[in-house]
Structures are given as structure tokens and as C-alpha cells.
Amino acid sequence: MTRRTSLKITDERQRLLDEASAIVASDQHDDPPMSDVLDAALTHLVESEENIQNAREKLNPETIQQFNTSVLGLRYRTSVESRWR
């Protein structure tokens, strides 16, 4: 990952940030800072990957594949991979 000094907020990225903010907010009047929303999203991504890896030892591949997302997905007992880029 390269470090950048600015983050371009496209319409799609803003929509995702708004949806994530609603999830992170403690109630409908809470407006969490973007840093909290990004931290929560990154933590969720890392924990999801760990959970999928741990589940591989306990569940069959068809069950695990039900939890695939556009970011994390399991190929038939090979690896967890990022579908971004």
C-alpha cells in the first residue's frame, strides 16, 4: 500500500462512507468522525478475514462461501483473497 497525503472522495466512496457511518453511529443523531468510520471498516475487514480462515477448519467450503463478499471470498479450499484490484 502506498501512502498518500489526500483521499479523493468520489460519489461512490461518499455513499459507502455514509452507509458505514450509519452503522458506526450510536444513534440517529450521532455523526462519528470519518477516522472512526474508517477504523471500524478496517477492523471489520481484518476480523472477517481471520474469521473466514478460522472457519475453514470447522465448516465445509459450501457453507463458508455463503459468507463471501465483494471484498473477501473463499475459493474452494485454496485461499482467502481480496477482490479489490
* 81, containing H or E segment: strand 80-82
Whether pTM exceeds 0.75: no
Question: In this structure, are residues 67 and 52 in contact, taking their beta carbons and an 8 Å threshold?
Answer: yes
| C-alpha–C-alpha distance, residues 80 and 70, integer Å | 12
Question: Is 60 exceeded by the pLDDT of residue 66?
Answer: yes
Angle at 51 between CA 47 and CA 57, to 5 degrees: 155
Question: Is 90 exceeded by the pLDDT of residue 43?
Answer: yes
Residue type, 41: A
* Average confidence (pLDDT) over 19-23: 95
pLDDT score recorded for residue 33: 94
Question: Is 90 exceeded by the pLDDT of residue 51?
Answer: no
| C-alpha–C-alpha distance, residues 83 and 71, integer Å | 5
Lowest mean pLDDT: which of 6-15, 50-59, 64-73, 76-85? 76-85
